[in-house]
Amino acid sequence: MKFSDGIISLVTYGYSTLLTLIRLTVFPFLKNMDRKRNWDLAGRLKIPAAIRDYRHKKVVWVHAASLGEAKLLCKFLSILEERNPDDMYVVTAVTRTGVQYLEKNSPHTVCAIGFFPLDTIPLMKKIITHYNISRVWLLETELWPSMLLTLKHLSIPVGIVNGRIEENSFVRYRRFRFLLKYFFENFDTVMVQNETYADRFRMLGVRDECIHVTGNIKGHVIIKRPQSHDWINIRQGLGLTEDDLVISWGCIHAGEGVVIRQCYDTLKSYGINCKMIIVPRYLYEVKDLIREIGDDLLHLYDINTMCKWQMCVIEKMGILDDMYLIADAAIIGGTFSDIGGHNVWDAARFAIPVFFGPDYRTQVDGCEKLIKNGVGFKAQDGVELAELIIDVMKREPERFIQAQLLFMETINKSQSVLGQLLP
């Protein structure tokens, strides 16, 4: 063993021992606070329980951090299932919303769902041996020392999906490159978002032949129209008919309500009768949005109502996918403010026109791809947005339909490349 390898093993064992001591001495006193603050300590101090029989099956562990990565995890699972249809999966996340999403959306091939256990060597060994884990996949860059050390010692292959290392993280990692190489050289497959990230993984010790630039898998979607019964049932719950023109605004931030009002009033002035659904990014900003949009906005707490409405804001988490599913068009929030946008593919995967504002700096690849293919559209303000909606959906609908059909064929075919890289 190299001297640096021995040092990092020693440091990791020390880190694991410290966490174990905290678990035994401090956590028992935090039980009352846990109930009040929703830390979910009980779920983090044990391994996830089995929900299906996994015996006599090859079991793969797939881990994500938060809600966004949990969504990617489910997308990646569909690729894994196609490649290895007989495998079973243990899926974990760090945040409560991530675990809840996995519980709601995981397929029947998942045999256990839960919080990522406290990163101690004993707990890592326990989950690996209990489920006889044969491989591990990490979403983006979830690096846990005890987990990685245990996998290395047990010779279990580990890969990274949708890998990225931002500049600030890279600067920190590079300072300890001589130590971190011990972990990074153990990755046998690293699928990264772009060449910049590929270079950073390479400089940190990942073998060149293990690195593949696959793009951001947030954009790796199968684009298709939703099942008609889902589309109809969700619409009916909101009092919508099949003929209603529904425009869903997703991940809307305070300050963007004025754009919604501008857009709605402009459409109305052109005689366009539509239903607008506003899904806020943060529930605590609902009051600000109502003040910005106006009193004619119906305030809902669920996706069921008997009330008549033209515009509604829904103060509930976890409904965005359903609101995009029933929409005829979608507008992406965070693009008419200085946020920089949110995932455009959440809406684009339903084969509807996707509109966004001028600031989509965090979603450049996705937005530019949609614009280039004639299925995404950028507006500067609410008035221009309304005019674009009219052009796309009323004046030249056939043009969008043809562009969408071609885009669906092209992008759905390109997604098969990712599966070919899986070991």
| Among 168, 188, 219, residue at a domain's last position | 219
Mark whether 23 and 66 lie in a shared domain. yes
One-letter identity of residue 60? V
Instruction: State the residue range of the domain holding 256.
Output: 228-411
Mean predicted confidence (pLDDT) in 251-272: 98
pLDDT of the residue at 214: 87
* CA nearest to 278, candidates 251, 318, 244: 251
| Among 219, 251, 266, residue at a domain's last position | 219
Mark whether 244 and 207 lie in a shared domain. no
Q: How far apart are CA 422 and CA 291, in angstroms?
A: 50
3-class SS of residue 375: coil
Mark whether 313 and 381 lie in a shared domain. yes
3-class SS of residue 268: helix
If you count them, how many residues does the chain have?
A: 423
* Count of domains for the chain: 2
Mark whether 274 and 181 lie in a shared domain. no
Residue 407: is its pLDDT beyond 90? yes
Spatial CB neighbours of 202, under 8 Å, sequence gap ≥ 6: 208, 211
Q: Centre a 10 Å sphere on the Cβ of residue 87 and count the other Cβ atoms it contains.
A: 18
Residue 419 falls within a domain, yes or no?
no
pLDDT of the residue at 4: 64
Q: How far apart are CA 187 and CA 205, in angstroms?
A: 9
Mark whether 335 and 210 lie in a shared domain. no
Residue 421 falls within a domain, yes or no?
no
Residue 250 falls within a domain, yes or no?
yes
Q: How far apart are CA 32 and CA 185, in angstroms?
A: 42
pLDDT of the residue at 25: 85
pLDDT of the residue at 33: 64
Residue 420 falls within a domain, yes or no?
no
Residue 416 falls within a domain, yes or no?
no
Task: Give the pTM.
Answer: 0.66
Residue 111: is its pLDDT beyond 90? yes
pLDDT of the residue at 416: 66
**For the chain, what percent of residues have pLDDT higher than 70?**
96
User: Strands 376-378, 354-356: parallel, antiparallel or unpaired by DSSP?
Assistant: parallel
Question: How far, rounded to the nearest angstrom, does the alpha carbon of residue 106 sit from its chain's CA centroid?
Answer: 13
pLDDT of the residue at 217: 82
Q: What would the two tokens of residue 277 be?
A: 């659904």
Q: Which residue has the tokens 């990490």?
A: 138
Mean predicted confidence (pLDDT) in 255-284: 98
Contact present, 277 and 249 (Cβ < 8 Å): yes
Mark whether 81 and 51 lie in a shared domain. yes
**Residue 387 vs residue 417, higher pLDDT:** 387
Mark whether 200 and 77 lie in a shared domain. yes
**Percentage helix, strand, coil for the chain under 3-state DSSP, each rounded to 5:** 50, 15, 35
Mark whether 264 and 298 lie in a shared domain. yes
One-letter identity of residue 357? G
CA angle 288, 293, 294 (to 5 degrees): 100
pLDDT of the residue at 180: 82
pLDDT, one tens digit per residue, over 68-103 is 899 899 989 988 998 899 999 999 999 999 999 999
One-letter identity of residue 79? I
Mark whether 142 and 239 lie in a shared domain. no
Q: How far apart are CA 326 and CA 382, in angstroms?
A: 22
DSSP 239: T
**For the chain, what percent of residues have pLDDT higher than 90?**
75
Instruction: Share the mean pLDDT of the chain.
Output: 92
* Helical segments of 176-281, H only: 177-184, 195-203, 228-237, 257-269
Helix 3-25 and helix 121-130, axial crossing angle in degrees, nearest 10:
90
Mark whether 206 and 334 lie in a shared domain. no
Residue 186 falls within a domain, yes or no?
yes
pLDDT of the residue at 26: 79
Q: How far apart are CA 377 and CA 371, in angstroms?
A: 6
pLDDT of the residue at 420: 77
Residue 372 falls within a domain, yes or no?
yes
Residue 141 falls within a domain, yes or no?
yes
Mean predicted confidence (pLDDT) in 182-191: 93
pLDDT, one tens digit per residue, over 191-230 is 999 999 999 999 999 999 999 998 888 767 778 899 899 9
pLDDT, one tens digit per residue, over 22-62 is 888 877 777 666 565 667 888 898 999 999 999 999 999 99
The domain that contains 402 carries what CATH number?
A: 3.40.50.2000
pLDDT of the residue at 412: 74
| Among 186, 219, 252, residue at a domain's last position | 219
Mark whether 202 and 236 lie in a shared domain. no
CA distances from residue 414 to 67, 116, 139, 194, 215 in whole angstroms, order as listed? 26, 32, 21, 16, 11
pLDDT of the residue at 78: 86
Q: How far apart are CA 134 and CA 152, in angstroms?
A: 12
> pLDDT class for 2, splitting at 50, 70, 90?
low
The domain that contains 19 carries what CATH number?
A: 3.40.50.11720
Mark whether 166 and 79 lie in a shared domain. yes
